């Protein structure tokens, strides 16, 4: 069963109940954030970078520590281009199943992998998107204690099940609005189509007058930080 029709409803329910998470940017500004989860990937991430380079757009990447360790040169290429880097856990285990010490270790190991690859200090990489979007109030409490910022989403076209490029593009276009936080995947699940998807999506969104910004810019425009 595909979840994409339900995700906008889930978003509208969750957002007001967890106001300290970044779900979207300011609705008064025609700025959106394009984000990618589950990388870096040795094949798919360079393809994404090429498209972003072509349009001179900055995006945000939420990385798995294990993938950074496997592809440090790709990670550095992303960072060197000025894209925003966040954490997605070390190995994509859902955060609610981890003990506090396991969660802290997963995030810390991912920060270490990013530092080794990109020389970004831990305090420069403190945005966290939970794998599968799963979290609990306790998860958010721990993030606050450890000075992490939880980043969620407002547009999730479910590209990881490979519904086809045209379908993913249309789902995004149907849902996008000012401040949208769009989630795509450049990892093993979904990465096959991601470059082709954004190569169609980006010019259409630019034509509609949207400005692409990083997650950090959305935080700066939000009332939480």
Give per-residue burial for 146-162: e unless 16+ CB within 10 Å, then b. eebbbbbbbbbbbbbee
Confirm whether 216 is a catalytic residue.
no
Question: Which residues, in sequence order, are bridge partners of residue 63?
Answer: 39, 87
Distance linking the first and last C-alpha atoms of the chain: 36
Q: Which of 38, 88, 185, 186 is catalytic?
A: 185
The CA distance from 75 to 2, in Å, is 31
Q: Which of 37, 38, 127, 159 is catalytic?
A: 37
Confirm whether 37 is a catalytic residue.
yes
Residue for token pair 């592809």: 71
The CA distance from 88 to 153, in Å, is 13
DSSP 97: G
The CA distance from 111 to 87, in Å, is 7
What CA–CA distances, in Å, run from 167 to 17, 174, 184, 197, 210? 30, 10, 13, 9, 20
Please identify every residue annotated as catalytic.
Answer: 37, 185
């Amino acid at each position: 069963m595909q979840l994409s029709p339900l995700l906008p409803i889930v978003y509208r329910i969750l957002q007001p109940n967890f106001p300290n998470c970044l779900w979207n940017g300011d609705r008064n500004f025609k700025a959106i954030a394009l984000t990618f989860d589950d990388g870096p990937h040795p094949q798919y991430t360079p393809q994404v970078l090429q498209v972003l380079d072509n349009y001179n757009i900055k995006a945000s990447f939420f990385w798995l520590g294990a993938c950074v360790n496997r592809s440090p040169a790709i990670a550095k290429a992303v960072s060197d281009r000025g894209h925003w880097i966040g954490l997605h856990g070390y190995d994509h285990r859902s955060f609610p199943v981890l003990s506090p010490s396991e969660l802290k270790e997963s995030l810390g190991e991912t920060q270490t992998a990013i530092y080794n690859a990109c020389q970004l200090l831990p305090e420069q990489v403190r945005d966290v998107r939970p794998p599968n979007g799963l979290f609990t109030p306790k998860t958010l409490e721990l993030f606050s204690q450890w000075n992490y910022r939880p980043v969620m989403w407002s547009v999730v076209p479910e590209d990881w099940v490979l519904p086809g490029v045209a379908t993913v593009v249309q789902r995004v276009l149907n849902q996008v609005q000012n401040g949208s936080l769009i989630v795509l995947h450049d990892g093993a699940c979904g990465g096959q189509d991601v470059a082709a998807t954004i190569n169609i999506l980006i010019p259409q969104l630019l034509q509609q007058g949207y400005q692409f910004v990083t997650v950090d810019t959305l935080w700066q425009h939000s009332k939480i930080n």
